[in-house]
Structure 1
Amino acid sequence: MASVRSRGDGDRERGGRDVVEDDYQPITAAEAAREGLRQIAGLTGKDPLGATSIQPIDDGWLVEVEVVEDHRIPASTDLLGLYQVELDMIGSLLGYQRTRRYQRGKGD
């Protein structure tokens, strides 16, 4: 996926070229999953394990990402967190929240 960066003047830069809002293409579900992983890693500094679900919402994507919140020895006792990441149609972050925290290998 091409990176999208805000330039602060209403335009954004995508993959090294300047574009205006009308030039944006909606991202695919796979791209949204990758972007959700990238955003959570950047925001929390935690190691993402993977996207556990993705679903379209009215104006974008809702991605659930599982991360290692606390590495422990043995690894089977690691603390994991489940985060919801909300992205718009072009992959920009709208919001995120941790919805669950649990020990690896422990079911509901």
Structure 2
Amino acid sequence: MTQTSSKQNGGKTKADTDDLPGPVAVLRCAREQLAELTGLAAESVSSFERTEEGWDLAVEVLELVRVPDTMSLLATYAVTLDPRGELTGYRRVRRYERGRADPPRPGGG
């Protein structure tokens, strides 16, 4: 039986990484934690990335319900979590009406 050195694994042993939650569990937990802290309903996670420090997410949150629904205000929150999925910080980075798309960027992007 061969063992992988911790140096080859970026300083982490297989046992260290086996007990960490996967992406689905982290996203679910992040939405619950953000909703509990802000009192706002998290509608979706629009992006996520595993980093050396844990996780970075962009979470879409319903901030203000309006009629018609296309006029409701949503916000994007940048959320950071530790490797175990515990929320370590968040901030609102964008606020927009549900029915509005971002303006086109130069070059068609």
Aligned to 2:56: 62
Aligned to 2:72: 78
For 2:97 and 2:58, how far apart are their aligned partners in 1? 17
For 1:33 and 1:102, how far apart are their aligned partners in 2? 22
- What is the alpha-carbon root mean square deviation over aligned residues? 1.5
Percent of residue pairs bearing the same amino acid type:
38
For 2:19 and 2:31, how far apart are their aligned partners in 1? 20
Q: Greater Rg, structure 1 or structure 2?
A: 2
Which structure is higher in strand share?
1
* TM-score in terms of structure 1 length: 0.74
Residue 87 (structure 1) shift: 0.6
Q: Which runs of 4+ in 1 moved over 6 A?
A: none
* TM-score in terms of structure 2 length: 0.73
**1:27 and 2:24 matched:** no
The one-letter amino acid paired with 2:66 is R
Residue 25 (structure 1) shift: 2.0
The alignment partner of 2:34 has SS state of helix
In structure 2, stretches of 5+ residues that fail to align are 1-15, 103-109
The one-letter amino acid paired with 2:51 is I
* Alpha-carbon displacement from aligned partner over 1:30-80 (angstroms, at most 9, x marks no partner): 111111111110111111111111101112111111011000011110000
Aligned to 1:36: 30
Aligned to 1:18: none
> Contact between 1:48 and 1:68, CA under 8 Å: does it hold in 2?
yes
> Contact between 2:30 and 2:86, CA under 8 Å: does it hold in 1?
no
Aligned residues: 86
The one-letter amino acid paired with 1:54 is F
**1:88 and 2:85 matched:** no
